């Protein structure tokens, strides 16, 4: 044993404890900054400058609240979200949730692989190479890697997000305007503005992220002793997600918005950055895009596999072998293969798939949040950790807010 040295030891122990817990919050949070998220933030910055940065701040707060709740439910009950929905709300709710979740996750995975394809093209790599390589890489990592290893690699992967901070700094933003936009809410008035604000909320708080954080806390065998450290992990993850979003928005606001350029997706943003902020900014942006897509493309099939095996009543863990958990690995494979396959079909338009996915995610989010707050209040499931009145009403306020956004989105999206 190493001898105890004055004050240093307690701090080291605390750090070691944190290192053991860290993961669920960081991974679930950061993977929300996937290509779909980056695209949304880019459009938000490009079209509206710094005006709606406060929407990002609000989304981040909602993310903290519900990721924290998801992690807590996972730790206290030792069960995944899908299984608990089945147990608490019955078979119909369970089947509908898992079906929607599965379809939406396949769609989102498609979006991740599309992001990898787009990011690869910036570096001159054709999609027929980048997408299969990414799919194999991700599957090998998760299927052959083993639990602790996967986590470390994924966390290392998320370091690419620093790229966005770099791109944001290179863009030379107007910090005063950014701060103003962040703290002073300006209500969106045009329908396009409402659309992009809702999309920002929707892309930050994703159903699969909520399902993932809970399943992953269960798989990590965290106990109630870890709740304090886990909260640090969750808050760090969510805040980092917000910070990265912030830098994406300001890099687009300072360059593309200032010049009146408009874009349709994140790789447009990367390309458009070149004449304004230099080739390095473009490459940083594209690099971040690929890294983000890889991270999310690992987490999405995993989140789906956890949910499917959990609801089917065959709890599975990353440590299980294929023989022990065929359903787990079959779901993982199905999501990856379909997601990557759709991107590779020549001549296919991904737009309907991506829009459809966003709609399912938005519609699924509401019942999922309602189920979560219901489970949080349930004394039978949560025991001493059941949410009190004050906390529950906070959840309800957030749910009401999101409902308004989604309804507004629904009304505005109707064909006119």
Residue 148 or 259 having the CB closest to another protein:
148
> Which of 25, 45, 70, 94 is close enough to bind another protein by CB under 8 A?
94
> Binding segment for another protein among 31-39, 100-108, 171-179, 305-313 (CB under 8 A)?
305-313
Phi, psi of 93 (to 5 degrees): -60, -40
Residue 17 or 132 having the CB closest to another protein:
17
Shortest Cβ distance from residue 27 to another protein (Å)? 16
* Contact by Cβ (8 Å): 39, 265: yes
For residues 260 and 376, give the distance between their C-alpha atoms in angstroms, rounded to a whole number. 46
Distance set, CA 404 to CA 134, 339, 362, 367 (Å): 38, 31, 12, 14
Residue 94 or 237 having the CB closest to another protein:
94
Residue 290 CB contacts under 8 Å (≥ 6 apart), including other chains: 115, 116, 119, 120, 160
Shortest Cβ distance from residue 370 to another protein (Å)? 18
- Dihedral over Cα of 91, 96, 99, 105: its sign: negative
- Residues from 2 through 31 that contact another protein (CB under 8 A): 13, 17
What's the DSSP call for residue 49?
T
Does 367 engage in binding with another protein (CB under 8 A)? Answer: no
Does 410 engage in binding with another protein (CB under 8 A)? Answer: no
> Which of 15, 19, 61, 95 is close enough to bind another protein by CB under 8 A?
95
Query: How close are the terminal C-alpha atoms of the chain, in Å?
Result: 73
> Which of 123, 129, 225, 397 is close enough to bind another protein by CB under 8 A?
225
List the structure tokens of 364: 């699924």
Radius of gyration of the chain (CA): 21
For residues 3 and 5, give the distance between their C-alpha atoms in angstroms, rounded to a whole number. 6
H helix runs in 123-226, sequence order: 127-145, 147-157, 162-170, 175-183, 191-204, 207-219
For residues 289 and 284, give the distance between their C-alpha atoms in angstroms, rounded to a whole number. 8
> Which of 40, 77, 217, 303 is close enough to bind another protein by CB under 8 A?
77
Does 86 engage in binding with another protein (CB under 8 A)? Answer: yes
Using CB under 8 A as the binding criterion, the count of chain residues that bind another protein stands at 42
Q: Which residue has the tokens 């209500």?
A: 187
19 CA to centre of own chain? 21
For residues 338 and 386, give the distance between their C-alpha atoms in angstroms, rounded to a whole number. 39
> Binding segment for another protein among 120-128, 244-252, 260-268, 313-321 (CB under 8 A)?
313-321
For residues 263 and 259, give the distance between their C-alpha atoms in angstroms, rounded to a whole number. 12
> Which of 19, 159, 223, 407 is close enough to bind another protein by CB under 8 A?
223
> Binding segment for another protein among 57-65, 92-100, 200-208, 278-286 (CB under 8 A)?
92-100
- Residues from 141 through 170 that contact another protein (CB under 8 A): 141, 144-150, 152-153
> Binding segment for another protein among 50-58, 59-67, 208-216, 306-314 (CB under 8 A)?
306-314
Residue 35 or 74 having the CB closest to another protein:
74
> Which of 171, 178, 201, 220 is close enough to bind another protein by CB under 8 A?
220
Please tell me whether residue 78 adopts helix, strand or coil conformation.
coil
Does 379 engage in binding with another protein (CB under 8 A)? Answer: no
Where does this chain bind another protein (CB under 8 A)? 1, 13, 17, 76-79, 83, 86-87, 90-92, 94-96, 141, 144-150, 152-153, 220-225, 311-315, 317, 319, 380-381, 383
């Amino acid at each position: 044993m190493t001898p105890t040295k004055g004050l240093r030891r307690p701090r080291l122990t605390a750090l070691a404890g944190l290192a053991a817990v860290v993961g669920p919050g960081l991974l679930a949070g950061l993977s929300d900054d996937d290509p779909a998220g980056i695209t949304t933030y880019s459009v938000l910055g490009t079209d509206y400058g710094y005006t709606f940065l406060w929407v990002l701040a609000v989304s981040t707060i909602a993310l903290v609240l519900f990721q924290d709740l998801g992690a807590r439910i996972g730790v206290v009950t030792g069960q995944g979200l899908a299984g608990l929905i089945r147990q608490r709300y019955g078979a119909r709710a369970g089947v509908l949730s898992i079906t929607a979740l599965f379809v939406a996750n396949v769609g989102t995975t498609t979006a991740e692989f599309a992001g990898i394809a787009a990011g690869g093209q910036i570096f001159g790599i054709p999609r027929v190479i980048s997408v299969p390589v990414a799919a194999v890489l991700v599957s090998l990592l998760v299927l052959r890697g083993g639990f602790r290893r996967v986590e470390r690699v994924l966390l290392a992967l998320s370091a690419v997000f620093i790229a966005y901070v770099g791109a944001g700094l290179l863009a030379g933003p107007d910090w005063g305007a950014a701060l103003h936009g962040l703290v002073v809410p300006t209500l969106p008035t045009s329908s396009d503005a409402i659309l992009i604000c809702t999309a920002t909320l929707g892309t930050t708080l994703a159903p699969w992220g909520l399902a993932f954080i809970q399943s992953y806390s269960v798989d990590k065998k965290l106990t109630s002793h870890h709740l304090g450290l886990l909260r640090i992990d969750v808050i760090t993850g969510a805040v980092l997600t917000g910070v990265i979003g912030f830098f994406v928005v300001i890099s687009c606001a300072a360059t593309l918005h200032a010049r009146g350029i408009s874009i349709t997706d994140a790789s447009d943003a990367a390309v458009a950055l070149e004449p304004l902020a230099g080739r390095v900014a473009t490459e940083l942006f594209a690099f971040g895009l690929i890294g983000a897509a890889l991270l999310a493309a690992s987490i999405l099939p995993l989140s789906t596999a956890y949910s499917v095996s959990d609801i089917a009543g065959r709890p599975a863990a990353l440590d299980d072998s294929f023989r022990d958990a065929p359903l787990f690995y079959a779901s993982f494979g199905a999501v990856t293969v379909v997601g990557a396959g759709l991107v590779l079909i020549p001549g296919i338009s991904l737009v309907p798939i991506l829009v459809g996915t966003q709609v399912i995610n938005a519609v699924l989010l509401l019942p999922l949040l309602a189920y979560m707050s219901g489970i949080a209040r349930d004394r039978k499931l949560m025991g001493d950790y059941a949410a009190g009145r004050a906390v529950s009403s906070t959840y309800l306020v957030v749910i009401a807010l999101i409902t308004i956004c989604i309804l507004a989105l629904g009304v505005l999206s109707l064909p006119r």
